[in-house]
A and B are shown apart, each in its own frame.
Chain A
Amino acid sequence: NAGVTQTPKFQVLKTGQSMTLQCAQDMNHEYMSWYRQDPGMGLRLIHYSVGAGITDQGEVPNGYNVSRSTTEDFPLRLLSAAPSQTSVYFCASSLSRTPGNTIYFGEGSWLTVV
């Protein structure tokens, strides 16, 4: 059981480039989400999904797109990378949308935009 898998682990981008952070879970979880973590600011929600075909914005969605074509995968796309998007990104999933279910996190993706 792999849990939540994120790729790549590390990435350096030039300003204006686009890229996709991949996230996959093998636990048949309905709920998936993306967070970014910056020094002194805790984790902030970027986008989330409550099931295949359904996505919504979190706290800091600007500059990011998501899609959920399958239950397993929830990629995060940076459309035109900016230095302000330098951060650590975490993907998370849980069995369902109801409180009381454990949320599992991936190991993180370190992104640097130069």
Chain B
Amino acid sequence: DAKTTQPPSMDCAEGRAANLPCNHSTISGNEYVYWYRQIHSQGPQYIIHGLKNNETNEMASLIITEDRKSSTLILPHATLRDTAVYYCIVRVAINFGNEKLTFGTGTRLTIIP
């Protein structure tokens, strides 16, 4: 299974762009990179996902390197409400399309006023 490595914690000033890195060097060609976040005491919230190309939605941008071994989640203008644990996840397909998510321990992002 492809595993992900993330820094345990990061700080970012309010209003600045938060750049969260993720290493997934063993990713396979048909595996997607997903990002979720979890605000204290709540369920994980979907942010964005991608396969090869960079992606952008109303919440964030996802930059995937050409070799797909790493990616960066960008929150363009961080607010205090973005303080959360961010999980980078590789979706693994096993057994005729059955799949599981492998969650690591994530990055605790703290937005500083």
Q: Are B105 and A102 in contact (CB under 8 A)?
A: no
Tell me, in angstroms, the Cα distance from A58 to B36 when the chains sit together: 20
Distance of A106 Cα from B51 Cα, bound (Å): 25
Taken together as a complex, chains A and B put the C-alpha atoms of A105 and B49 apart, in Å, by: 16
* 6 closest Cβ pairs, A-B complex: A105-B43, A43-B103, A42-B103, A99-B91, A97-B97, A105-B44
Q: Which of A33, A42, A98, A107 touches B104 (beta carbons < 8 Å)? A: A42
The residue that B99 contacts in the complex, of A40, A99, A102, A106, with Cβ under 8 A, is A99
User: Which residue on A lies nearest to B104, using beta carbons?
Assistant: A42
Indicate if the CB atoms of A42 and B106 lie closer than 8 Å.
yes
Contact A90 B43 (CB under 8 A): yes
Q: With a CB–CB cut-off of 8 A, which chain B residues contact A48?
A: 98, 100
B49 touches A100 (CB 8 A): yes
Considering the chains assembled together, what is the distance between the CA atoms of A58 and B98 in angstroms?
11
Asked if A41 is at the interface (CB within 8 A of a chain B CB), the reply is: yes
- A interface bracket (residues with beta carbon within 8 Å of B): 20 to 34
Chain B residue at minimum C-beta to C-beta distance from A108 = B43
Docked CA distance A43–B106 (Å): 10
Q: Could you tell me if B98 and A108 are in contact, using CB atoms closer than 8 angstroms?
A: no
In the complex, residue of chain B having the shortest beta-carbon distance to the beta carbon of A6: B43
The yes or no answer to B54 lying at the interface (CB within 8 A) is no
The reply to whether B43 and A45 form a contact with Cβ atoms under 8 Å apart is: no
Check A100 against B32 for contact (C-beta < 8 Å).
yes
The answer to whether A43 and B32 touch across the interface, beta carbons within 8 angstroms, is: no
Quote the shortest CB–CB distance from B34 to chain A (angstroms): 8
> How many Å from the CB of A101 to the closest CB on chain B?
9
Contact with B along A5-48 (1 / 0, CB 8 A): 00000000000000000000000000101010000111111001
Q: Are B43 and A56 in contact (CB under 8 A)?
A: no
Tell me if A58 and B46 are in contact (CB < 8 A).
Answer: no
